[in-house]
């Protein structure tokens, strides 16, 4: 197995072996999605078991990945017990004892460990309590929202011996780093945040290994690298499509915001945010109560003052409607259908992700009427073997041009390299969810260039979610050492203004990014021609998500910052 590994995977083996030899309590392998954490782990376990360095190994994972892991382990390392996070809670005592005495595992491995990043959950507490000499956590997204998640993972990995209590961690690390990442932080706050993040990075370094696809690509260009096996990646172009609301969506959205302002939102903020997101996708996602409330005037009577209304509203049913109506009611649907028609004509195959099953229902209905052949995986399909059959069909049968997936299910552990286009229909509060979705296609084994389309409606809650994604990504990159000092794009005030409506025909975020990215390198002609076509589809504009933390952008930013300091 060792000879088949890429160079970065061999380095991962050395890291794991060193952790074992030095009797460390654990480690985190946080390689980017699609770099082969599974094969590194299997090779490590195979060697340890053959050398009789380990006799008892427990591997814990999401239920949907049990079949994948089982198939791989049967080939190389059959002496491993597999279980799921769900089973961990009910089996905690069984897994911790043998013949009425405490049983200590040689090694426990947690795949997709970010799923137990909340230290208050029963699953985390069960994982923490099962005795083991070594714990190895596998995750492509170690920090997704805040630094408490990083603390939780290392608390589990090192059994509380590295970062102390969360209370002390928050005071010493999280608070100064978070404040230093904000655009309106003072120079002293930025300096303290930077110094604190560097200190944290050094502390976790012996227990933490992360390589990104960009790291591997840079290594392949270094001299004297032609004698080793370096993983090769195609190009990825990650585009943000700034989409307009339809007249119906805009009317409903503004009416909802007015209602929220009048009654206040302290007790119903989460519900209101969810409703706002529904409007951005499609008004047909409403519940009957949401629809009725928004269709009435201040006295509770039907509001007939505006012609933009939904005809024949029926909760959870759209089959009685023509696809033309479903398309016209949503700005995203108008853009998406035109895009998918074009991609099919060009011979591309596309993954379409949405957080909403009902949104996938609408997309599926419209595409079916247009003769698309597609497959679908969402939370209703619980059998792992059925999911595996659908994935295999998409990978091997080119007549399927579309694969519809919910972000929570389809973005986890699937290999879908037969697709070379990815559409994120709605941005997630958690940026790692969208990254996981993209990396179903962009991974080792992908032979074509990949283009990603992130659909975001102008001036709405989605634009503010995207701003928060950028902030969270900059926090992650600085803390885990990917960037020493990433650009600060937004102030705290800009991040907190959720219940407002901006200009829905113009994106201030796109304009802000454009002023920073305007002098970046040109793309190839094929992509430029494609972007020129996209610009004809009645959208506000396009941003290049891939430029947010690019090396060339950081170099220009550091030069400008230095010049400002001199002034």
Band (pLDDT 50/70/90 cuts) for residue 449 is very high
Dig out the tokens for 564 from the structure: 């400002």
Q: So what's the pLDDT on residue 467?
A: 87
Residue 127's CB: how many other CB atoms inside 10 A? 23
> Which run of H or E residues covers position 81?
strand 81-84
Domains of the chain: 2-220 (3.40.50.10810), 236-245+330-554 (3.40.50.300)
Q: So what's the pLDDT on residue 563?
A: 38
Are 374 and 403 a contacting pair, CB within 8 Å?
A: yes
Q: Where are the alpha helices (DSSP H) in 264-329?
A: 269-281, 288-295, 323-328
Share of the chain above pLDDT 70, in %: 87
Dig out the tokens for 127 from the structure: 């994982």
> Which run of H or E residues covers position 544?
strand 541-544
Q: Looking at residues 166-185, what average pLDDT do you find? A: 90
Dig out the tokens for 402 from the structure: 């579309």
Q: Looking at residues 164-173, what average pLDDT do you find? A: 95
pTM of the model: 0.83
Q: Provide the 3-class DSSP secondary structure of residue 174.
A: helix
Least trusted range by pLDDT, from 135-144, 307-316, 329-338, 558-567: 558-567
**pLDDT digits over 213-250, tens only?**
888 887 776 666 555 677 788 889 999 999 999 999 99
Q: So what's the pLDDT on residue 494?
A: 54
Q: Looking at residues 399-414, what average pLDDT do you find? A: 86
Q: Is the pLDDT of residue 67 over 90?
A: no
b/e for 493-518, b at 16 or more Cβ within 10 A? ebbeeebebeebeebebbeebeebbe
Mean pLDDT of the chain: 86
Q: So what's the pLDDT on residue 85?
A: 94
Band (pLDDT 50/70/90 cuts) for residue 520 is low
Residue 62's CB: how many other CB atoms inside 10 A? 16
Q: So what's the pLDDT on residue 566?
A: 31
> Of the segments 184-188, 231-235, 302-306, which one has the largest average pLDDT value?
184-188
Q: Looking at residues 504-533, what average pLDDT do you find? A: 82
Q: Looking at residues 373-402, what average pLDDT do you find? A: 90
> For helices 7-21 and 213-220, what crossing angle results, to 10°?
120
**Whole-number Å distance between alpha carbons of 471 and 473:** 5
Q: Is the pLDDT of residue 262 over 90?
A: no
User: Which of 358, 25, 289 has its CA nearest to residue 160?
Assistant: 25
Q: So what's the pLDDT on residue 554?
A: 42
């Amino acid at each position: 197995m060792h000879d088949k590994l890429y160079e970065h995977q061999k380095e991962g083996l050395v890291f794991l072996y060193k952790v074992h030899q030095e009797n460390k309590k654990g480690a985190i392998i946080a390689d980017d999605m699609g770099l082969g954490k599974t094969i590194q782990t299997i090779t490590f376990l195979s060697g340890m078991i053959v050398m009789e360095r380990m006799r008892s190994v427990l591997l814990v994972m999401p239920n949907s990945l049990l079949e994948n892991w089982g198939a791989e382990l049967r080939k190389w390392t059959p002496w491993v017990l597999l279980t799921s996070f769900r089973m961990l809670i009910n089996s905690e005592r069984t897994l911790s004892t043998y013949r009425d005495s405490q049983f200590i595992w040689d090694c426990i491995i947690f795949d997709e460990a970010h799923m137990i990043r909340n230290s208050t959950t029963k699953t985390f507490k069960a994982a923490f309590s099962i005795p083991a000499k070594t714990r190895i956590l596998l995750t492509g997204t170690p920090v997704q929202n805040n630094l408490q998640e990083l603390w939780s993972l290392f608390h589990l990995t090192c059994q509380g011996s590295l970062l102390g209590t969360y209370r002390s961690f928050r005071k010493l690390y999280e608070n100064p780093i978070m404040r230093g990442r904000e655009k309106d932080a003072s120079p002293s706050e930025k300096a303290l945040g930077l110094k604190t993040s560097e200190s944290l990075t050094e502390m976790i370094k012996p227990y933490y290994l992360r390589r990104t696809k960009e790291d591997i690509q840079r290594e392949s260009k270094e001299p004297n690298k032609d004698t080793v096996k370096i993983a090769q990646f195609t190009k990825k172009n990650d585009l943000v499509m700034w989409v307009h609301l339809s007249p119906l969506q805009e009317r409903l959205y503004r009416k909802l915001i007015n209602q929220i302002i009048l009654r206040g939102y302290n007790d119903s903020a989460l519900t209101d945010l969810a409703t706002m997101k529904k409007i951005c996708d499609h008004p047909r996602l409403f519940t009957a109560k949401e629809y009725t409330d928004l269709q009435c005037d201040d006295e509770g009577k039907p509001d007939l003052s505006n012609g933009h209304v939904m005809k024949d509203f029926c909760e959870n049913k759209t089959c009685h409607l023509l696809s033309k109506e479903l398309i016209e009611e949503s700005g995203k649907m108008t853009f998406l259908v035109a895009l998918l028609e074009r991609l099919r004509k060009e011979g591309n195959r596309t993954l379409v992700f949405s957080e909403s099953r009902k949104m996938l229902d609408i997309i599926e209905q419209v595409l079916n009427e247009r003769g698309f052949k597609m497959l679908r995986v969402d939370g209703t399909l619980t059998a792992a073997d059925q999911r595996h059959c659908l994935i295999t069909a998409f990978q091997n049968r080119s007549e399927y041009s579309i694969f519809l997936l919910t972000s929570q299910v389809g973005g986890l552990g699937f290999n879908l390299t037969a697709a070379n286009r990815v559409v994120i229909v709605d941005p997630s509060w958690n940026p790692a969810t969208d990254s996981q979705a993209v990396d179903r296609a962009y991974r080792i084994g992908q032979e074509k260039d990949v283009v990603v389309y992130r659909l975001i409606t102008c001036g709405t809650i989605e634009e503010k979610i995207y701003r928060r994604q950028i902030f969270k990504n900059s926090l992650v990159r600085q803390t885990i050492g990917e960037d020493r000092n990433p650009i600060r794009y937004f102030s705290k005030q800009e991040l907190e203004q959720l219940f407002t409506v901006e200009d829905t025909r113009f994106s201030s975020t796109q304009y802000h990014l454009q002023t920073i990215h305007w002098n970046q390198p040109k793309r190839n002609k094929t992509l430029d021609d494609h972007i020129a076509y996209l610009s004809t589809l009645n959208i506000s504009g396009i941003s290049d998500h891939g430029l947010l933390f690019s090396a060339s952008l950081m170099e220009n930013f550091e030069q400008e910052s230095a010049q400002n300091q001199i002034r």
